[in-house]
């Protein structure tokens, strides 16, 4: 019985990861990171100041839903399973981000000097 449970669990996990749209996950993480960096910065992108009133988690989730709609439009996705895959991809992207990918992006930001003022 234990082997059957583990086999079913592994089957569900592999089905989940094969249903993920990995291109969308990468695009989602990069676009939302740029949106959040632009929104949270002090002196640039002043037209995004109204977004600072929305909590970052909601801003990320709603941005992901909007990006999923745009992605589905451009890739002509019409099946219900395709939309479910994009929603799962948004959730996976948010989880991966919280598990430590944000540290990699912060390191990258430090390396290209985005957080330091330009030398005049």
Q: What is the DSSP letter of 11?
A: H
Residue 54 lies in a domain: yes
Q: Please check whether residue 62 lies inside any domain of the structure.
A: yes
Note down the domain range covering 92.
26-111
48 lies in a domain?
A: yes
- Please write the tens of the pLDDT for every residue from 40-58: 776 666 666 778 888 888 8
63-107: pLDDT as tens digits = 999 999 998 888 888 888 888 888 889 888 888 888 877 777 777
pLDDT at position 115: 52
User: Is residue 1 scored above 70 in pLDDT?
Assistant: no
**pLDDT attached to residue 66:** 93
In a domain, 60, yes or no: yes
In a domain, 116, yes or no: no
pLDDT of amino acid 99: 82
17 belongs to a structural domain: no
64 Cβ neighbours under 8 A, 6+ residues apart: 28, 32, 90, 93, 94
Distance between CA atoms of residues 93 and 98, nearest Å: 9
The DSSP secondary structure of 50-118, one letter per residue, reads GGGGS-HHHHHHHHHHHHHHHHHHHTT--SHHHHHHHHHHHHHHHHHIIIIIHHHHHHHHHHTTSSSPP
Q: Would residue 118 count as lying in a domain?
A: no
Structural domains of the chain, count:
1
Give the predicted TM-score (pTM) of the model.
0.73
DSSP letter (8 states) at residue 19: H
In a domain, 63, yes or no: yes
């Amino acid at each position: 019985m234990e082997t059957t449970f583990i086999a079913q669990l592994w089957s569900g996990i592999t089905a989940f990861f094969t249903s993920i749209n990995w291109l969308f996950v990468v695009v989602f993480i990069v676009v939302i990171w740029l949106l959040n960096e632009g929104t949270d910065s002090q002196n640039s992108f002043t037209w995004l100041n109204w977004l600072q009133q929305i909590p970052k988690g909601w801003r990320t989730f709603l941005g992901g839903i909007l990006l999923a709609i745009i992605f589905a439009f451009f890739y002509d996705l019409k099946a219900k399973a395709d939309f479910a895959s994009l929603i799962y991809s948004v959730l996976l992207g948010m989880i991966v981000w919280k598990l430590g990918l944000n540290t990699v992006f912060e390191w990258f930001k430090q390396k290209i000097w985005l957080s330091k003022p330009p030398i005049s």
